[in-house]
Structure 1
Amino acid sequence: MDRGKKLTNLYGNKNNNIYMDLKDIIRENALPYLPAKSLFRCSGVCRDWKLLISTPFFAHNQSNSFRSISGFFYQTQAGVPSFMSLDPMAYGVPDPSLEFLPEPVEIRCSSNGLLCCQGCTDYKAYYICNPVTKHWEKLPKPEADHGPDPAVVLAFEPSLLNFTADYKLICAFPSELDGFEFEIYSSGTRSWRISGEIYFSNRKLLPKSGIHVNGTAYWQTSLEIIAFDLSSERCQLLYKTVGSLGTKNGKLCMAHVHGRSQNLVVRMLSDVHSNTMQMHSAAELWKELPRIHLDVSPAAFSSSWYFYGHGGVEFIGGDVVLFRDGNMFYCYDMKKKASENLGQVDIDIKAGIVGYVNSLVDLQTVG
């Protein structure tokens, strides 16, 4: 009898989570993990959800919880920015052409919900914006000449400790000393600074090859990868393989498609110190993952563009791989092990494609 009474009292505890309403459970445990477009639709469910989604604290929580690649920004052949969504019902932005910015822009790079663009007038200023909220910042003029096609990398990692975006923009620009120098913009100081590090080489950086992974910026040349550590501000050279730079499981990777077999080949950075190992060392710089056969049309890898630089892969980030045949785009989800034809897109091939996360991340100032 006593045991039965204790059991009844236990289940009668109204503080237990099993007595939470379903809408409260979803609000606390599901909403922060949804993309921005889906959240705007959820704001119409009830007044409480609308108020919650509109708060800065929720935006901060969502930017830390949602990290999935949602689509890609690109430049059309007419030069207008546009957005290609992986799921138009779930992912999207209110103004894909970025007309909320004060001048026409070219898309340069992105990082965890923030987009870096460059103006087309005056001194071609850099803009950092969130296409969801239409908030933006215009960066001051750099000290150095970054050239007509700057090799910039945006470094932003959401943090639970910072309610506003703390980011850096790094540019590898040609040096008068026959090499590359590095200029860094910090949102904390709101200023540019040229690093004392110089990479001496007569090689050219591949267009739109820059990426940031775990505190290091990487760029490709025709034969190697330049790695610039943001903490020590030291440069290191890595031997490269065929393909595009990207991220997988939080590590740098390179990916390409073997045209004849249609196998996706992904190699992850294994040991950055293998470059300095003695000869015949067993240490390997790149570790190859099990190859994945892509169930797509053979024509997707038949064009001559496949052999130029990318090795068939336009983008790899997380579990998403994007490749194309001319203006026809295909996506492969390595987690779901499924491929999808995204259709034909009117794209400027020279402008490149930028992966994007549909985030509510906030900036320090509002445009």
Structure 2
Amino acid sequence: MRCGRSGRSQEQTMASKKALAMQPSKKICMTLLPQDIVELILLRLPVSTLLRCRGVCKQWDGIIRDPQFAMAHIQRAPRRPLFFFQRENLVHLLYPSEAILFDEAWSPPKWVVPVIEPDDFLCASCNGLICLYSDKSTIKIANLATGECMHLVKPVRNSKTDHFSYYSFGFHPVTKQYKVMHFLRDEHLHVGTSFSIIQVYTLGDEKWRDVRTPQALSLRCVERSGVVNVDGAMYWLTEDEESVWKHAVVTFDLSEELFQWLQLPAVDPANYVLRDPDQWLITEVDSNVSVSYYETGKLHIWTIDSKIEQSWSQKYNIRLSMLEVPGPHWICGDKIILHDFNKNLYFYELMGKNSEIESSKLVKQLRFSPRNNMQCFMFVKSLVRLDAFRKAGVVRRPKRREGWKLKKWEVWMDRLHRLENHCRSIHDMKHKIYENADKMGMEIKLDLQQTPDLDSSLRLINWLEYRRVLEILCVNLDNMHEVLTVMNNTTGAAHNKESHVADQGTSSSAVGISGS
């Protein structure tokens, strides 16, 4: 037997040495592959894997850090919806701003996005970078995948009339420049409902520049329907009293910084009930600029075919019933994003140009009650590096829980800490129940749902997960209560039986004594 064990152990040792000897050769083979082959392999890997690959070898590191590779990877990466809920004071509790980024399986995450502080507002998303506005004197450009942040001084400081919707962010694929735009509110003209200057900052420059618009434009339209970035230009709606639709599309080229007006689709107004001009929205569908009009339970979506000829084609004609769409993006691939008045969020697969939303085919994703203010952006995880634009901004990783230290968030943080304590208490209670059951000789089964590890020293759960964990705790408490009830009843029955036997023994003794 000893010889057999020794032989096997020697064979195992030899096999492990052989495996170790093979590993370097595999790495050498990988590094000796042609550059273009290695790039094709790395292009198919997710961002999280590529970030771990940095530093493995000089060849990989050089490829992954190359801006051209980052752009090529973006083209292949899947686009996913990013839902943003801004801070709100609801039900006597201040809720923080939070982003919910769905994964490839269209499932929401559990944890708070580190680069988003509780007082941030999301302005735009572009190539995996997001633009965040806060009450501070700076705005922030952040990469959610890498955790990098760039802080830029606002063009107008301490303005009481400034708003997060006045900022946008875009990219030009030819010049490779990222630009932040600020619509400067006219304080005296039209009672502050318009703007005549766009302040532009190019990432890497030293200061903001003023670009004057050909005429005063509607700031109210920008607030309501937002701005989209498509193929190197920014698009938004403005009021146009001379047109049939009372609206027009303004385009601002990010390279030449020139404006162009696009008339809305030429259709017969008799076919549409033009009751509310505020029902116009601008969005992006399949990388094309699109506008939509909501009319009595129907959503009409047009996509521009040619900016030169200003021709449009109708992309979708959707019957929504009692459902609504979040802005500025609500179509991702073949799915449309919807929500109802009960604050339930759904996805629905569009099968053709004319679609009628069937309630039985709605896929419910989450319920965002009690939150109200929701935006939806299309997002892609990327390797775009912000340290390439250090010239004017400060690039750093955010300090852990910097914004959560403010006094106004003490109540929310206290709730999270109490939730952690409740999870630990239920965990301890479960073990005590099993110990007592073992002492009593009982076999029990606790059907408890697993709760996540809520170690507050590492990261915070988001408010969706907070609500889910609360629901789990309630179910677990009910299950333990039922088990405890059974255990108490069993203990009580055993105690009554022992008391009954003891009473019988006492009676028999009494009879025997009297008989003697």
Give the match for residue 98 of structure 2: 81
Aligned to 2:284: 247
Partner residue of 1:8? none
Aligned counterpart for 1:190 among listed residues 194, 203, 206: 206
Range moving further from structure 2, 129-138 or 65-74: 65-74
Is the 8 Å Cα contact of residues 128 and 384 (structure 2) preserved in structure 1?
yes
What amino acid does structure 2 have at the position aligned with 1:352?
Answer: Q
Q: What is the one-letter code of the residue matched to 1:218? A: Y
| Contact 2:85 2:99 (C-alpha < 8 Å) held by counterparts | yes
Q: 1:33 to 1:59 in 2, by over 3 A?
A: farther
224, 227, 230: which is aligned to 1:213? 230
Rate the CA distance shift 1:292–1:149 in 2: closer, same or farther, 3 A: closer
Q: Deviations over 1:87-124 (max 9, x none)?
A: 3589979851525x6x8411111111000001223x3x
Name the CA shift for 1:140/1:43 in 2 (closer, same or farther; >3 Å): same
Q: 1:265 to 1:322 in 2, by over 3 A?
A: same
2:132 is equivalent to residue 109 of structure 1: no
Question: Are 2:135 and 1:120 aligned?
Answer: yes
Secondary structure in 2 matching 1:220: strand
Q: Distance in 2 between matches of 1:313 and 1:155?
A: 14
CA distance in 2, matches of 1:98, 1:336: 38
Q: Identify the residue that residue 508 of structure 2 maps to in structure 1.
A: none
Q: Offset at 1:157? A: 4.5
Q: Please say if residues 125 and 377 of structure 2, whose CA atoms lie closer than 8 Å, have aligned partners that are also in contact.
A: yes
> What is the identity, as a one-letter code, of the residue corresponding to 2:337?
L
**Pairs aligned (count):** 314
Sequence identity of aligned pairs in percent?
Answer: 18
Q: Confirm whether residue 236 of structure 1 aligns to residue 252 of structure 2.
A: no
1:244–1:311 CA contact under 8 A, matched in 2:
no
Q: CA deviation at 1:74?
A: 0.5
Matching of residue 331 in structure 1 with residue 347 in structure 2 = yes
Aligned 8 A contact 1:151 1:207 in 2: no
In the alignment, which of 351, 360, 363 is matched to residue 383 of structure 2? 360
Deviates more, 1:199-208 or 1:70-79: 199-208
Residues 36, 257 of structure 1: alpha-carbon distance in 2 compared, 3 angstrom cutoff: farther
Cα deviation, 1:316-348, whole Å, max 9, x if unaligned, reads 355553222243222346699997432223574
Kept in 1, the 8 Å contact 2:328–2:375? The answer is: no
Q: Please tell me whether residue 267 in structure 1 is matched to residue 298 in structure 2.
A: no
Which residue is equivalent to 1:169? 180
Structure 1 residue ranges without an equivalent (≥5):
1-19, 275-283, 294-299
Does structure 1 residue 288 correspond to structure 2 residue 314? yes
Question: CA shift at 1:195, angstroms?
Answer: 0.5
Question: For the Cα contact (< 8 Å) 1:73–1:354, is it kept in 2?
Answer: yes
Distance 1:249 1:75, change over 3 A: closer
Structure whose residues are more often strand by fraction: 1
CA distance in 2, matches of 1:215, 1:247: 13
Q: Which residue of 1 aligns with 2:165?
A: 150
Match of 2:74 among 48, 61, 66: 66
Report the CA distance shift for 1:133/1:232 in structure 2 as closer, same or farther (over 3 A): closer
SS of structure 2 residue aligned to 1:352: strand
Quote the residue 1:134 is aligned against.
Answer: 147
Return the structure number with greater relative CO, CA threshold 8 A, min gap 6: 1
The partner residue of 1:29 within 40, 57, 68 is 40
Cα displacement (A) at 1:211: 0.9
**2:133–2:164 CA contact under 8 A, matched in 1:** no
Q: CA deviation at 1:287?
A: 0.7
Deviations 1:143-188 (A, max 9, x none): 48572343222112567x96xxx31011223224443221111113
TM-score between both structures, scaled by the size of structure 2: 0.50
Task: Tell me how far apart the structure 1 counterparts of residues 143 and 296 of structure 2 sit (CA, whole Å).
Answer: 37
**Equivalent position amino acid for 1:269 in 2:** I
* Alignment match, 1:280: none
**2-side partners of 1:210 and 1:174: how far apart?**
16
* Cα distance change, pair 203–147 in 1 and its aligned pair in 2 (3 A): closer
Counterpart-to-counterpart distance in 2, 1:174 and 1:218: 18
SS in 2 for 1:66: helix
Amino acid at match of 1:251: N
* Cα distance in 1 between the residues matched to 2:151 and 2:37: 37
Distance 1:57 1:65 in 2: 11
Gaps of 5+ in 2: 1-28, 89-94, 240-245, 266-276, 354-360, 397-516
Q: In the alignment, which residue of structure 2 is the partner of 1:321?
A: 336
Distance 1:316 1:34, change over 3 A: farther
Whose Rg is larger?
2
Picking from 322, 330, 341, the partner of 1:302 is 322
The answer to whether the 8 A contact 1:35-1:90 is kept is no
**Cα pair 2:127 2:380 within 8 Å, conserved:** yes
Residue 226 of structure 1 corresponds to which residue in structure 2?
250
- Are residues 359 and 289 of structure 1, via their aligned partners in 2, closer, same or farther at CA, if it must alter by over 3 Å? same
- One-letter code aligned to 2:283: G
SS at match of 2:142: strand
Helix, strand or coil for the counterpart of 2:208?
strand
CA distance 1:60–1:333, change in 2 (3 Å):
farther
